[in-house]
Amino acid sequence: MAATGSEKQGAKAFYVTTPIYYVNDAPHLGHAYTTVAGDVLTRWHRQRGEKVWYLTGTDEHGQKIMRTAEANDVTPQAWCDKLVEEAWKPLWEHLNIANDDFIRTTQKRHTDRVQEFVQDLYDKDEIYKGGYEGPYCVGCEEFKLPGDLVEAEDGTKLCPVHKRPVEILKEENYFFKLSAYGPKLLEFYEANPGFIQPESARNEVVNFVKQGLDDLSISRSTFDWGIPVPWDEKHVIYVWIDALLNYATAVGYNENPAKFEETFPADVHLIGKDILRFHAVIWPAMLMAQGLPVPGRVAANGWLMVGGEKMSKSNLTGIKPQDLTSHFGVDAYRWYFLRAIAFGQDGSFSWEDFTARYTSELANDYGNLASRVAAMVGKYFGGELPASAADGDAEKAVHESLTKAVAVADAKIGEELDFQAGILAIFDFVKQVNGYITEQEPWKVAKDESEEGRARLATILYTAAESLRAVAVLLNPIMPETSQALWDSLGAEASLGALASQPVQDAATWGQLPAGATVTKGAVLFPRLEEPKKD
């Protein structure tokens, strides 16, 4: 995505990351949910005129990947290459994700730097050799504490996430002195209360660290699909140590000091709540040990639920995003999950809810408003936007409502990551504009062919069109394709320039759309839904 001209060169970038996703299978709605949220957040900041860097990628080492590849009778590298190029990258392109980089943990730019980072910790006496015996979930690639496990009816100990039996590992490993960082982490959490969001996640982490931390096994010695430990190649680096370091290696750690200085650390790590401890405990401790700055915020989104279960391939509840985009469209897909689910909380998905919201809010409220305004400007003024005459109380109320909507949306989306509240503020304004048109009845005013009648009609339609100009700006980070279609319909590209260059924080400045702009009625923004095909 092109940068805006108002970016400050040399300033630190607003750096946002998604988790790097395991490539044991194709992506599902849960993966796309986090990635779309990051895309909306970074597009919003870009449209503020800020310098932005958005990173996503894939996690390609570890026992889970190795076993999946073996089950498919291919090498781990071949498996990863196939999934990345045929499933992951194409989906992000399909969903209009404007990431700046896509890192793969099998890339040399990553593997070399990971070895250097771990070697530095070893040289600083932060790593020692020992033995590990205990439960391990291959699905999570995580060493589990006994208290984390759930018990099946037959007494088998299960991973609470995957509901599958854990394996008992006993092997010689290298350990990072994580236990030494408990007090430092608690001090950091106290000084930075917004570091972990939402508050429930913060409370969980604080309570966990207060119980005391064990040292962390950072190597595995019973398989070889991973980055070799540089001083002992009988071991490979634990996949989570490898994975977390992508946030540093992707932006030039130990390779491009200028890039690293202007990007690192991340301002926001977007993650699923099941990987909270890795990002809020292990990752900052690793950075503290290395003398590097700690991220600004770790924001844990909830789980997407289907039938009361977390959406995942292993639970057979994984739904492909394309199943939805083929029916609702990409922009509606991007909008729905952030509008329907409060970010940070679990949320249930259903076709019925998506259909109802699409019809009510997108097609009826927003799409119909755009069509009506364009049609009336075409019918009454030959498609040329008229100049507004004197604004009355009704118009001033629209101006004030827009000012409020912009302020709320900018704060909620840009700062608080409350996408739902930000989107609702924008759509509340759309409802107000619909109400304004209903009350003013321009179709009746048009029957008055006097000079006063024509002036009043011009004011009503200018107010509506200028309101839509602001809506297109505000919704562009969320629904870029339909926002561009509306922008073109209003004739704004010719008079105001590219939509992506319009600052969201200035969207409420009234009168930007000039009289004389050519307004055309384009294709319906949100077509009526067809009935889903039934088997």
User: Active-site residue numbers?
Assistant: 28, 31, 137, 140, 159, 162, 310, 313
Give the torsion through C-alpha atoms of 399, 401, 404, 408, to 10 deg: -130
Q: What is the DSSP string of 25-93?
A: S---HHHHHHHHHHHHHHHHHHTTT--EEEEEEEE--SHHHHHHHHHTTS-HHHHHHHHIIIIIHHHHH
Rg for the chain, CA atoms, rounded: 26
Residues contacting 416, CB < 8 A, separation 6+: none
Q: For 456-520, give the secondary structure using H, E and C.
A: HHHHHHHHHHHHHHHHHHHHCCCCHHHHHHHHHHCCHHHHHCCHHHCCHHHCCCCCCCCCCCECC
Residue 495, judged by CB atoms within 10 A of its CB (0-12, 13-18, 19+), counts as middle
Alpha carbon distance 115, 112 (integer Å):
5
- Taking the C-alpha atoms of residue 501 and residue 503, their distance in angstroms, rounded to an integer, is 6
- On the 0-12 / 13-18 / 19+ scale of CB atoms within 10 A, 515 is middle
d(CA 394, CA 493): 28
Do residues 306 and 348 make contact, with C-beta atoms less than 8 angstroms apart?
yes
**449: CB partners within 8 A, 6+ apart:** none
Helices (DSSP H) in 304-364: which residue ranges?
321-328, 330-340, 351-357
Residue with tokens 């979930």: 137
Q: Which two tokens stand for residue 239?
A: 């996949």
